[in-house]
Amino acid sequence: MNSDRTRFYRDKINGKIFGVCAGIADYTGVDVLWVRLATIGLVMLGAPFIVPAYFLVGLFAQKKPGHLYTDRSEQKFWQGVRQSPTRTAREVRAQFRDIDRRLAEVETFYVSSNPRLSAEIERLR
């Protein structure tokens, strides 16, 4: 999991001040509004370490590269990898099994309905 897509970045494009809340939202897959509300709520409840921590993360975290994701589905996939790598791997394996099953069905359909193709495949074996 040393990929650039599994690291935390501050998201300056979608952010308001330093992009820390937007970066947390991107990293976790939670809507940025909820992250901002939680941050404000913690500050209001008297968690004084939140403000300095926010600025420290804003200063030291790297800015999110613009080419990190090609589309929204890729972003959702990498958020899933960060949240639960084993679950994501299990889902990918299940998708490949489904593709393999559907491909086998297509192959069976074409081979069974085409005796010439079936004979050709048998000669190749």
The DSSP code for 114 is -
Domain range list for the chain: 1-83, 84-125
Average confidence (pLDDT) over 63-90 = 73
Angle at CA of residue 84, ends 43 and 12, nearest 5°: 45
User: Of all helices (H) and strands (E), which one includes residue 31?
Assistant: none
Region label for 62, one of left (φ > 0), alpha (ψ between -120 and 50) or beta (otherwise): beta
Q: Look at residue 4 in the predicted model and tell me its pLDDT.
A: 63
The pTM (predicted TM-score) of the whole model is 0.56
Q: What is the CA radius of gyration of the chain?
A: 24
Give tens-digit pLDDT for 105-125.
Answer: 888 777 677 777 777 878 887
**Weakest-pLDDT range from 5-14, 22-31, 52-61:** 5-14
